Amino acid sequence: MSAAMTRAFAASLLLLASAGAALAASEADYKAAYAAAETANKEAGSLRNQWTTTAATLAAAKKAGDAGDFDTAVAQAREAEALARASIFQATSEKERWKDLEVR
């Protein structure tokens, strides 16, 4: 292997190693993701359309965060936010759409 290829290989390994370390979630990442999920869930609540699965997923995120498993906590919080946003979409889209389905 030539010196240039060795340096390129070493640089690739270093890049891969640093990318893996960069992907690990921190407590700050967890707190930000959890806050976003809570905000979306509160908005869904104001529309009177909170899903029970959102609350369960938020609880799982909090449990993982309290245990220090921030990768799992962030993933759960992001899933909870997605569920909350889906419930918001459902509430807003069905607000008037039911009239299209009414038998006349």
Report how far residue 66's alpha carbon sits from residue 97's, in angstroms, rounded to the nearest whole number. 41
Assessment of whether the complete model's pTM goes beyond 0.75:
no
- On average, the pLDDT of the chain sits at 84
For the segment 46-56, what is each residue's pLDDT rounded down to a tens digit? 999 999 999 99
The three-state secondary structure class of 52 is: helix
Report how far residue 35's alpha carbon sits from residue 28's, in angstroms, rounded to the nearest whole number. 10
Q: Do the Cβ atoms of 69 and 79 come closer than 8 Å? A: no
Q: Do the Cβ atoms of 78 and 37 come closer than 8 Å? A: yes
The position carrying tokens 């890049």 is 15
Query: Taking 60 as the threshold, does the pLDDT of residue 77 lie above it?
Result: yes
